[in-house]
Structure formats: structure tokens, C-alpha cells
Amino acid sequence: MEQHKKDFNIITNQPYMLQQTIDWYNSIYKTDFELAHFVRDEVNYAIIVYEKASDFDVFQLGANYGRQCEAFDKAFSSSIPPDYFDDKTKYPKE
């Protein structure tokens, strides 16, 4: 039976982190996800192609990538000094 390539999009500003997650997931779960193209537009997104992965694998890849992004964001935000933002405007001080 011939398999056809399928694809899906992931909204992201971190293509390098996404590629690391794909490589990690493929090595452990023996899937064939591939970052086919990264589109820089009003909303940046990556196009992922695959043949052998299941719908569950697609979901798990997205969940693991989400965990990576959240860990990165927490590490970044914890490095910002407490007085960096203005209390009234909630924007960074000038």
C-alpha cells in the first residue's frame, strides 16, 4: 500500500527549537516528521510533512514542542529584573 505525504502547520517564532523537538521525537518514536518549510509572514509558521506518523504522534509532537516553548519562556521571564516593567502601563520602562 502506497503512503502519501501528509502535512500540518505549527505557528511558531522558534524554528530552531522546533527542529530540535522534531529530531528528538523522531529518534525516540521512530517517526518521520520533517520541517519542510518555515514561513515568515504576519503570523510565522512551519510546515511539517510526514508519512509514517499517526494522528497521536502529531498531537504528541505538538504537546512536546509546547512544553519546550513554555520552559524557554519561563527561563527567559525569570531572568527579567522585577522593576523592568512599569506598574501602571505594564510595558517595559523606557
Asked if residue 94 belongs to a domain, the reply is no
Q: What confidence score (pLDDT) does residue 72 get?
A: 84
- Category of 30 on φ-ψ map: left (φ > 0), alpha (ψ -120 to 50) or beta: left
**How far is Cα 83 from Cα 16, in angstroms, rounded to an integer?**
31
Ranking 29-33, 34-38, 58-62, 77-81 by mean pLDDT, the lowest is 77-81
Average pLDDT over all residues of the chain: 88
**How far is Cα 24 from Cα 81, in angstroms, rounded to an integer?**
33
Asked if residue 93 belongs to a domain, the reply is no
Number of separate domains in the chain? 1
Query: What mean pLDDT is predicted for residues 25-38?
Result: 95
What's 33's domain CATH number?
3.30.1370
Q: What confidence score (pLDDT) does residue 62 get?
A: 94
Asked if residue 85 belongs to a domain, the reply is no
Instruction: For 51-91, write each residue's pLDDT tens digit.
Output: 999 999 999 999 999 999 888 888 777 777 777 777 777 67
Domain range for 67: 6-77
**pTM (2 decimals)?**
0.77
Q: What confidence score (pLDDT) does residue 2 get?
A: 60
Percent residues over pLDDT 90 in the chain: 65
